[in-house]
Amino acid sequence: MDKKVILIILGMSIVTYLPRVLPIIVLTKVKTPEWFMRWLKYIPTAVLAALLAPELLVSGGTLELSLKNKNLLAAVPCFMVAYKTKNLFVTVVTGIVSMLLLNLIYA
């Protein structure tokens, strides 16, 4: 293998590894304030909302809040089941069945 390729692979490995390890190393040695720890707990929820919102609310490049939006309609029972059961498997099955039924209805 060419030295250039090996150096590129090593460089990419370092660039991938450092952002994951540095926060762990820094945060274990520093006393973090309580407000910062509370703030960190909201990050997963914010990321999930940022990923889900476009998929649920945008259809065909425009905001779609009508009964034609199957993704949004299928999300309603998913959210209810997720809130009630806190079971990922049951929630995923609910989403699959909801989309199946909506595709049959709107076919």
| Partners of residue 59 on adjacent β-strands | 62
Residues 85 and 40 in one domain: yes
User: Which of the four pLDDT bands, split at 50, 70 and 90, describes residue 101?
Assistant: very high
Tokens 């490995």 belong to 13
24 and 38 in a common domain: no
Give the model confidence (pLDDT) of 32-90 as tens digits.
899 988 999 999 999 999 999 999 998 888 898 888 889 999 999 999 999 999 999 99
Residue with tokens 């999930």: 48
pLDDT tens figures, 8-17: 999 999 999 9
Instruction: Give the pair of three-digit tokens for residue 42.
Output: 């909201």
Total count of domains within the chain: 2
Task: Give the separation between CA 68 and CA 87, rounded to whole angstroms.
Answer: 28
Q: What is the pTM of this model?
A: 0.63
**Other beta carbons less than 10 A from residue 91's beta carbon:** 19
The C-alpha atoms of residue 102 and residue 107 are separated, in whole angstroms, by 8
**45 shares a domain with 61:** yes
